[in-house]
Amino acid sequence: MAIIRREHEPDVEAVRALQAAAFAGDSDAEPVEVGLLDALRTCEGWIPELSLVAEHEGGVVGHNVCTRGFINEVACVGLGPIGIQPKLQNGGFGSALMHAMIGAADALGEPVIALLGSPDYYRRFGFVAATSIGIAPPEAAWGDFFQALPLSTWTSDMTGQFRYAAPFHELD
């Protein structure tokens, strides 16, 4: 199995290559997630303690990151991107990264993790439709794909519109 640990400076290129492979489509163009990750690293929303890698057999095989987000003026975190080496997807590395990230964010006192993703996948980690706990997505069309996980410091009055770190708003 993998060791889940905080990302270190020597991991940056391996993480970048991993995200490119994880999100590669039919196009030869660099996936948007790679540019997003580059921009997140240099923005004020970057939280180094919440950039985690999965290391397996001496190499980085997975990565996920949470950056500063807000529900109105309440600081919380937004998760993404999360990527796993394609040949190792469905091998438990993504689940291990998710469990580690949830624990790390909770230990840091973050009240909520928000994300855009498959309800069928993220439900297993306790995520719910964000609107069900009073958190509106940045884009109304996201519907139930915009999800939230309340953590230990969350209170029911933490409601309103979620806002990701600035680079998310600059995506094409």
Q: Write the DSSP symbol of residue 3.
A: E
| pLDDT for 171 beyond 90 | no
pLDDT at 169: 85
Q: What is the pLDDT of residues 143-164, one digit of tens each?
A: 999 999 999 999 999 999 999 9
What is the pTM for the complete model shown? 0.95
State the average pLDDT for the chain.
95
**Token pair listed for 61:** 């095989």
Map out the domains of the chain with their CATH numbers: 3-169 (3.40.630.30)
Nearest to 61 by CA among 70, 48, 52: 52
Question: Taking Cα atoms as reference points, which of 43, 102, 150, 160 lies closest to residue 35?
Answer: 43
